[in-house]
Amino acid sequence: MDILGLIKRDHDEVKALFKEFEGLGPNAHVTRAKLAKKIMDSLVKHDEAEEQTLYDLLKERTEETDERVKLFEAYTEHEMASALIKSLHETDGESEEFLGKFSALQEAVEHHIKDEEGYVHKFAREVLEKDELEQLGPEFESAKKQIAVPN
Ligand SMILES: [Fe+2]
Ligand SMILES: [Fe+2]
């Protein structure tokens, strides 16, 4: 699978996990905490690896103003998600505040995924060769493994 396929696979997985989180009953404390951590950790790894292997390369290769603006918008959305995740780690997982912030994270991530699969992947296909997209696949997977997440 090329990098865009692998990214899409992560997106589908995280969207399904968010839905699972939404469907948990009021007494599912342990499951909720574990699932929230799983979602946040996978987002941290995904976003960072995506920047290292795809965004940074696209930024080097793209001279078009519109494309560069869209790319910086995507980086900024990662930055905002990362800040929200940091804040969630400092919030009591059983509180209403946590649930509110987590729901805001879900909305932001769903929006970001939609844009990314739309315009970022579109110009990745324009700017990069098929071979490059293939080669970036394993790089993306190994970059994810290198990224540390909080305990
Ligand atoms: Fe992504
Ligand atoms: Fe992203």
* Domains and their CATH numbers in the chain: 3-146 (1.20.120.520)
Segment 128-143 shows an average pLDDT of 98
- Give the separation between CA 55 and CA 49, rounded to whole angstroms: 9
DSSP characters for 6-25?
A: HHHHHHHHHHHHHHHHHT--
* Ligand 2 centroid – CA 43 distance (Å): 9
Taking the C-alpha atoms of residue 141 and residue 6, their distance in angstroms, rounded to an integer, is 8
Mean pLDDT value across the chain: 96
Tell me the pLDDT band of 150, cut-offs 50, 70 and 90.
confident
Tokens of 145: 């493994």
* DSSP at 94: T
pLDDT single digits (tens) 33-45: 999 999 999 999 9
Q: Specify whether the CB–CB gap between 74 and 120 falls below 8 A.
A: yes
Cα(49) to ligand 1 centroid in Å equals: 9
Q: Kindly give the distance from the C-alpha atom of residue 151 to the centroid of ligand 2, in angstroms, as a whole number.
A: 23
Please tell me the predicted confidence (pLDDT) of residue 48: 98
pTM: 0.96
